[in-house]
Structure 1
Amino acid sequence: MEHYLVVDTMCPGSYGMILFVKDKDSGLEHTLKKVECLDESRANQALREALCLINVNHPNIVRYRELFISWDKSMSSVMLSMVMDCPCISSLKAVIASHREQKERFKNKVIHMFLGQMVDALAYLDNRNILHRNLKPSNILMTDGLVFRICDFGTATVTGDRAKLQIRIKDSAKCWMAPESVRLLQWSNKSDIWSLGCVLLDVLTCHMFDEEASLSQLFLIKKDLIPLDRVMSKDLHKLLTMMFSHSPKKRASVWMLVNEAFVKDCLILCGSSLHTMKKTLPRGVTGPPFHEGFDSVLEFMMTYTDIEDVQLSVLSYLLKKDKNALERVSDVVEAVTSAMMSHTGSACVQLKSCQVLQQLLTAGEHTSIENSSLYGEDVISHLLKAVQNHSKHVDLLVNAFQVLFLVSKNGKACDSIVKLGCAQEVLKTLRANPQKKDIVIPSCRFLWNLLANGIPYTASVESMTSAAETVCSVGEMHLQDAVVTECLCAALQSLTMHGLFEEKDVENATLLLINALRIHPNHSGIVKHVFIVMVTLVKCSEKAALRLLTPNGESGVSLILTARGHHPDDRLVTENFCHLLNQLVQQDAVAPELLAESVQEELEHIVKQFESTTDIALLAQETLSNVMSLNNPEPAVKNNTSFQNPFRTHVST
């Protein structure tokens, strides 16, 4: 202290006092912060922790020039002294106060410059494993040229003193701190992200509140995210939601923020090259410790979640070590979803993550091992984000939809799938990629599972808008492919049985089904699905019955008979064939065609063939009686032929 002359003294801060001093030799002015330490040992420890700040050199971080320990006679205490540059500029706290008083919004350019520079500075610190620990408006300086600079770092020894936190730090200072820092005295790079979110929220809303109300909403954010409803920008609302996750594991890292398009634009605006950079391993760390075994590799993956190369390397390792992964499913799922969350912009990370999840789900089916973490909302939400962020990456879409298909076999997972809007995203992707069968197959299987697991009717209607139209449109492109056609027909079956058809879809659907029968009469799976869907369509719409008469200039009834003839011993085909004829016989327009094709002879044969199978024999006999009644002058009882949403049809599948 001997070679510094005190020029002025500021009000004491949360962790110490601030002095403006002048170097007696050079005449340069500096800021000197003095932090009281419990004893000399604690002071030396704090000094060692702070030494890394001497080498920090970033345009948005105040330079530290000197660190030393001194004895303060007036306080009779050991002090850690930190000498910093003294830029003659305002604190962000003062600027916010001015805007608050005038009820003036910050201009968009100011917000963008602030966010870009802060993310750049925190990424710089993160690469050097340096935490700030005390980020708030009073510790961010601002020039008229829209340059923001972080100052006044904390150290683990000082900030980790519970007595100091409880006694000396006011509630107004605690509101900027992450929940885990206040409750558990735990700090990490994620804690700084929470604090940055608090500062950003204050900047965005200061014109709405006085200081007390502003601080209240920062306390409220620790309980729920209601205050974010006042943020009108969708991009900023999304960022703040990522920054305010109460679990540090789920909270965004600075590198996740860098991957967001809005933040990239802010980085470009402030001249940062960070948007083109990736985080790297610290010096001396070469890569995952594959030689140390599965547990060590998984721990390494979680430690360096933000480093893309590490995640890709370990994800490839997990794909090879599927047996080990099965023994640690919950831990693997946590590591994989963390990788997906940290690297939303990396299609490679998302793809490999989907492959690992698919491998776990498939292996679980074969071994009867079901782990709830595989069907959790975290997995589903990250799959959805991967599809949304990489809507043109076909391999990723295929793998993501395969995983969604497997997850949708779980009834509880279906609730989350509907809530998060996955069905709409699948249909959107189907419409954008109708020709890609590798996307069509898992998409249709996913739709089948989702409806088969009994989601409520209202949810079905909301999530499956235009589903039938989409499936019919896609189906026309793949009629020659039996595998794809069967999946499409299965999806149509679920949609009709849940009443998710509109009158405008009936004609196209009927024509698609008839063409499927014509091309694949020997494929029992297709025939079963077609018969079941036709039952519902004919029951609800006369248009379907009329379209059956002469599709493409040929007899639809003849095609139905031919298809049944390819599977004479298949009980389900036969049963659904009889149900279909029972519906057709009630349509006046179709009756002559049924008689002309001699369907009664086929029914008589079925009665004899399945006389030992009571249900089928009775159904065939009933259908035969209805057909024979067509020659009776007495009119048969007809169904209402106007279209209506059907109930679940009681047909065998």
Structure 2
Amino acid sequence: MHYLFWCKDNNTSTPQDMCWVSLRMREQHFPGHVLCWVSMRMRDHLFPSPWQRHDALRAEVGAQAGAADTARETSTALYPLIVRQGMDKYKVLEEWRAGSFGATCIVKEAVGDGRRFAVKKVECIDEHEANLALKEAMVLLNLQHPNICAYKEFFITWDNTISSLFLSLVMDVSDQGDLGGIVRLKRQLVKKMDETVIQMLLGQAIDVLVYIHKQKVLHRNLKPSNILLKDEDSFLLSDFVVETLAADEMKLKIRMDDECKLWMAPEALQFSYSEKSDVWSLGCVLLDMMTCSITNDAEVAALLQEIRLDPVCLENVLKTLVGKVGYSADLCQVLLQMLQIHPVQRATAIELMDVPYVKECLILVGSPLSGVKKTLPPGVSDELYEGGIEKALEFMQIYTDFEDAQISALRHLSWYIADQDGWLCIEEIIRLVVQAMKLHSDSLDIQLEGIWILRDLVSQALAHGLNEECFISNELITTLVRGMRSFLPNTGLLSQICSLMMMLSANEVAAELLGKAGVLQDTLKIMESSLENRELCLSCCGLLWSMAMTESHTRREWLVYAVPVIFNLVLKHLHDGQLVESACCSLWILCLKGCVVEEQTESISWALLESLHAHPQRPVLVKNACLALASLLRTSELAAFRVLVPVSGKNGIALIKEIYHLHSDDPEIVENMCLLFSEMAHYGDTRPEMLSQNMGPFMREIKVKFASTEEIVTLAESTLSKLET
């Protein structure tokens, strides 16, 4: 199989180490290596002039198009790339334990502080299944919830001993044990599980299910051993299973044991999963906890199987749990809604939120879904005025669950950050600000205050040359993305989020995280529906340009989608110089990457020429509009004819020549214009008109004036040579 990919020397970190490589991958040559797709942003300093940047970036686009063609021919995604040995960074601490969906073991990092993780490896049929499963799993990296066991990374490895591909998932591990251990102990001691513990689990689990189901994510593997203990009264849901792996019927029929089947919904046993399948599994977990004092292991196993077939069985055991064991009738009524055999009759997690007993559980665990917010006693916030940044951070840590406390602390913090060196403790500040935004994701005030602080901090850090890796994290990016999607009507907040994302996206790690989170499509949809909002469109344009510069993390179809959106923006705001300038920057990168289809060439060329006519004094606009036109001219003669047609009563060549006299002391603008004319002179039908516009003397004048600038001289000579043929 033939793959094209970016290759970067792992021993260095500079962009100069990047190159395109082609490799015929043979399995036997690379045992145990990780396979993935890695990309790096092309930096301007690699190519000192706009002309070189233009040609080099176009070469990049061509190479990527070749990679896309290879992908289509092989029907395989462009993930595979040899990077490093998969498990080299970890030390295995125990034997691999086989399970229905894969094998698991505990590891620790080989370097650093030796942090422990759980690694689960799942065998895949072929590269296609491995890549598909990896793509589906990426969404799990974005899950940020206090009751979800976080994932660290995923990778694909090749096991040469058995000639198989494995998807490996690295996740956090809890040293407190799991719910299965508590239930087993209670059952051995024939002791009742306290209803408060059940309420705590129910409240936290419903909070998690609502969170993941709203994001179209299913757990598919909910059982006591996958519910970890965080502390005395807090749980973590772990070990999610992606759709591709859960639908592998042949493998699961062989490996799925009876214990695993106990917790699965009736329809899930037929490999049909839905949100309600997770609700059934949670109901089984609760039933297991409630029957500790009246059933042994064999009896509860039989019970969990029988309730799938006979609804009367569940009704009888619930009567026993109320009358004999002493559980509340309200709890048992919730269980009845969760364990309906037919999915259509079963409640969803969102529907359960409205059940009074479940709402009490949500209040008990402090879930935002309860609608009840904690408030500080009067006078407590006065503590903030006793100190500066350190006091605000301490206050935020003490009163994490109090929305009003977090708002007060954030406002106090913002006063000091503007005047003090807040960037010196940027990691701690960002951690607590993001935590507040995440825990109070429904609070507009906290989102606004948090974004203002993050913008100030990032600006300070970049101004002082601080390494972005110190403060960029997956948690920060996912918090921003969640805010963007949760407050769509609030254009002020959206504008601030887009501006901050644009600042962050200059970093390769942040650009990759934003790309994977689907930020580009969100940005385009926001801009498309808010063309009247100048400030929001300005922020969106900046973010679009920055994201488009990193195509490896951006789906091409969304770049193509962006072209008409930007065109409509120019039409609506043609006389707004700052906004049109930003739009021209975006159009340049879109034209350069070949995202303008043939049918759009004339209209986009017209928009660029109108922008030049409306704002000839703006140097950045002129630079980017000329580069965008040069890109269109290189691929389409239609663009050349459009330049020759009068724009607002003026021929395009005459217009650009006039603009030249406004910026004749700016070598970069002159070089971009020369590039445009060189591309235009390539077409024989345009040369007579160019000659009639005295382009020969004009180019010779430029050649003399910029005789010491090699790039301009070369382009001028190229144009003259074409005009003389």
Please report the TM-score for the alignment, with normalisation by the length of structure 2: 0.53
Spell out the pairing of 1:297-308 with structure 2 (5 A cutoff).
Answer: 297-308=392-403
Q: Which runs of 5+ in 2 are unaligned?
A: 1-146, 148-177, 185-192, 199-221, 241-252, 283-347, 364-368
Q: Is the 8 A contact 1:330 1:371 kept in 2?
A: no
CA distance in 2, matches of 1:349, 1:529: 38
Partner of 1:559: 655
Which residue number in structure 2 is paired with residue 212 of structure 1? 259
Give 1:179-190 correspondences, 5 Å limit: 179-181=228-230, 186-188=231-233, 190=234
- For 1:612 and 1:603, locate their aligned partners in 2 and report how far apart those are by CA, in whole Å: 15
Counterpart for residue 109 of structure 2: none
- Where does residue 446 of structure 2 map in the other structure? 349
Counterparts of 1:152 and 1:423, CA distance in 2: 45
Other-structure match for 1:398:
495
Q: Which residue is equivalent to 1:37?
A: none
Alpha-carbon distance between aligned partners in 1 of 2:543 and 2:277, rounded to the nearest angstrom: 30
Cα 1:560–1:625 change in 2 (3 A) is: same
2:274 to 212, 228, 232: 232
Give the Cα separation in 1 of the matches to 2:486 and 2:709. Answer: 54
What one-letter code is carried by the residue in structure 1 that aligns with 2:260? A
Aligned to 2:689: 593
Q: CA deviation at 1:276?
A: 7.6
Partner Cα distance (2:478, 2:446) in 1: 16
Q: Distance in 2 between matches of 1:421 and 1:399?
A: 18
Partner letter of residue 417 of structure 1? L
- CA–CA distance in structure 1, aligned partners of residues 546 and 528 of structure 2: 19
1:547 aligns with 2:594: no
1:329·1:371 contact (CA, 8 Å) conserved in 2? Answer: no
3-state SS of paired residue (1:314): helix
Does the 8 Å CA contact 2:677/2:719 hold for their aligned counterparts?
yes
Partner of residue 613, structure 1: 709
Q: Matches of 1:177 and 1:490 in 2, distance apart?
A: 49
**SS of 1:476's equivalent?**
helix
Paired residues for 1:342-421 under 5 Å: 342-421=439-518
Aligned pairs for 1:90-239 within 5 A: 151=195, 153=197, 175=224, 178-181=227-230, 186-188=231-233, 190-191=234-235, 194=237, 212-213=259-260, 231-233=273-275
Paired residues, what number?
A: 424
Which residue of the partner structure matches residue 539 of structure 2? 442
Q: How does 1:439-478 map to 2 (within 5 A)?
A: 439-452=536-549, 454-456=550-552, 459-478=554-573
| 1:106-151 CA distance string (max 9 Å, x none) | xxxxxxxxxxxxx9xxxxxxxxxxxxx9899999xxxxxxxxx972
How many angstroms apart in 1 are the aligned matches of 2:718 and 2:223?
79
Unaligned runs of 5+ in 1: 1-118, 120-132, 140-148, 155-172, 198-207, 219-225, 241-261, 630-653
Structure 1 residues 292, 552: closer, same or farther in 2, change over 3 A? closer
- Residues 607/292 of structure 1: CA separation in 2 closer, same or farther (3 Å cut): closer
- On the 8 A contact 2:520/2:554 being kept in 1, the answer is no
Report whether the alignment pairs 1:514 with 2:609. yes
Work out whether residues 318 and 325 of structure 1, in 8 Å CA contact, stay in contact via their aligned partners in 2. Answer: no
Q: In the aligned structure 2, how far is the partner of 1:576 from the partner of 1:282?
A: 61
Structure 2: how far apart are the matches of 1:384 and 1:235?
28
Shift of 1:421: 0.7
Quote the residue 2:625 is aligned against: 530
Matched, 1:327 2:424: yes
**What are the residue-to-residue correspondences of 1:625-640 with 2, within 5 Å?**
625-629=721-725
- Name the amino acid aligned to 1:309: D
Deviations 1:586-631 (A, max 9, x none): 22342232122111221121122122333322321331232233xx
Of the three residues 479, 494, 501, the one matched with 2:589 is: 494
Larger radius of gyration: 1
Residue number in structure 1 paired with 2:520: 423
The percentage of aligned residue pairs carrying the same residue is 23
Instruction: Give the match for residue 163 of structure 2.
Output: none
What does the per-residue CA deviation read over 1:215-245, in whole Å, with 9 as the maximum and x for residues that have no partner? 7889xxxxxxx99x975239979x99xxxxx
Q: 2:374 aligns with which of 261, 280, 286?
A: 280
Q: Answer with 286-295 or 298-307: which moved more.
A: 286-295
State which drifts further: 371-380 or 522-531. 371-380
The alpha-carbon distance between structure 1 residues 587 and 483, as it changes in their structure 2 partners (threshold 3 A), is same
The offset of 1:398, in angstroms, is: 0.8
Cα deviation for residue 333 of structure 1 reads 1.5
**Partner letter of residue 486 of structure 2?**
N
Distance across 1 between alignment mates of 2:448 and 2:636: 44
| 1:448–1:263 distance in 2 versus 1, CA, 3 Å | same
Structure 1 position 269, deviation (Å):
5.3
AA in 2 matched with 1:520: H
After superposition, what is the alpha-carbon deviation per residue over 1:255-308, rounded to whole angstroms, capped at 9, x for unaligned? xxxxxxx87764445496976843224768823731255334323313433322
> For the residues of structure 1 that align with 2:524 and 2:237, how far apart are their CA atoms?
36
Tell which has more relative contact order, 1 or 2 (C-alpha 8 A, sep 6+). Answer: 2
Task: State the distance in 2 between where 1:410 and 1:382 align.
Answer: 17
Whether the aligned pair in 2 keeps the contact of 1:134 and 1:153 (CA below 8 Å) is no
Confirm or deny: 8 A CA contact 1:407 1:413 kept in the other structure.
Answer: yes
For the 8 Å contact 1:414–1:455, the answer to whether it is kept is: no
Check 1:612–1:210 CA distance in 2 against 1; reply closer, same or farther (3 A cut): closer
> 1:176/1:321 Cα in 2 relative to 1: closer, same or farther (>3 Å)?
farther
Query: Displacement, 1:552?
Result: 4.6
Displacement of 1:317 after TM fit?
1.5
Following TM superposition, by how much is the alpha carbon of 1:415 offset from its aligned partner in structure 2, in angstroms? 1.1
Contact 2:703 2:713 in 1 (8 A): yes
My pick for the range that moved more, 610-619 or 427-436, is 610-619
Q: Secondary structure at the match of 1:339?
A: helix
Residue in 1 aligned with 2:599? 504
CA distance in 2, matches of 1:473, 1:384: 25
How far apart are 1:321 and its partner, in Å?
A: 2.0
Q: Give the drift of 1:511.
A: 0.9
- Cα root mean square deviation, aligned: 3.9
1:36 maps to which residue?
none
